[in-house]
Amino acid sequence: MFTDAFPDLRHEVLATVDDGQTVVAEIRASGTHTGPMASPSGDIPPTGKRFQVDYVDVWRFRDGKVASDHVYFDMYPFLTQLGLLAS
């Protein structure tokens, strides 16, 4: 969904913590909304606006393999920067 809507999508790792079984990364994502963005209500047409938001990704490992991956992300700043919600 995001690569179609934001072809210039970038992720910058700001910080990481690793305890051997869990890796936590703070990441900054940015891009320009130049393609249709899929949503449960149908495609959202491109707004041409840029966004920059931070998110946290938590990977848990078991036996050397990813057992779970959880992303924590606040949609409000993302949608506001794209002009899809009033600020």
> Is residue 31 helix, strand or coil?
strand
User: Is the pTM of the predicted complex or chain greater than 0.85?
Assistant: yes
| Gap between the Cα atoms of 67 and 35, Å rounded | 33
Query: 2-47 pLDDT, tens per residue?
Result: 899 999 999 999 999 999 999 999 999 999 999 999 999 999 999 9
Q: Which of 23, 17, 18 is nearest to 60 (CA)?
A: 23
For 10, 59, 67, 71, 77, the CA distances from 81, given in Å and listed in that order, are 16, 28, 33, 20, 6
Q: CATH topology for 2-81?
A: Nuclear Transport Factor 2; Chain: A, (3.10.450)
Residue 79 clears pLDDT 80, i.e. is over it: yes
